[in-house]
Amino acid sequence: MMENTAPITRRTATLMTGVSLLIAGPAGAQAGKPVKLVALGDSLTAGYLLPADAAFPVVLEKALRAKGLKVEIGNAGVSGDTTAGGAQRVDWSVPEGTDGVILELGANDALRGLDPRRAEANLEKIITRLKARNIAVFLAGMLAPRNNGTDYAAAFDGMFPRLADKHGLPLYPFFLDGVLDVPGMTLDDKLHPSRAGVEEIVRRILPMVEAFVAQLPQQR
């Protein structure tokens, strides 16, 4: 996996304008009941070898609340999970009443060299099932290790923008942007984010998640 340098797409730029909704007037995340999100992912979401308060969903919820948003984020990260595992457990991992899901899966498929076409089909199954339940999806992308070969990397990396374009989803291109291969941002395995790494992920992804949350009351 390597750091993503792709430009912001028009879809992403359009989503970013949703941040203005936070200023223009009250939304469900500011008044009334909390907006309920679930982070559905693998060890990167679960908080592998980190204290519970340092896991991505917890740190992101704290950052959103610091912005004045009434948000609750459930941690549905399972260490070692693949896209196939996520597809099998999506219904019981995402409870009724969930407004939106941050979908972060695929890293283990790439590390194991699993067929990107199967991974893409699994992600599409998850997305389709969530949309059928009227649950909005925020897609977090991943990049394949370059030692898998250029053809594999192109197929794997490309599935996230393809799915986002097909289903009209906001896409954060690379979940480990600013963390992978950066000293101090990962654990000793050079893969999983440290506490500082999680904080950096949240800092970078926060504006897009703000926009996602701001648009949720309009989607439901």
Q: What residues act catalytically?
A: 43, 189, 192
SS3 track for the chain: CCCCCCCCCHHHHHHHHHHHHHHHCCCCCCCCCCEEEEEEECHHHHCCCCCHHHCHHHHHHHHHHHCCCCEEEEEEECCCCCHHHHHHHHHHHCCCCCCEEEEECCHHHHHCCCCHHHHHHHHHHHHHHHHHCCCEEEEECCCCCHHHCHHHHHHHHHHHHHHHHHHCCCEECCCCCCCCCCCCCECCCCCCECHHHHHHHHHHHHHHHHHHHHHHHHHC
AA identity, residue 134: N
Query: Distances from the Cα of 213 to the Cαs of 3, 17, 68, 174, 187, in angstroms?
Result: 26, 12, 12, 20, 30
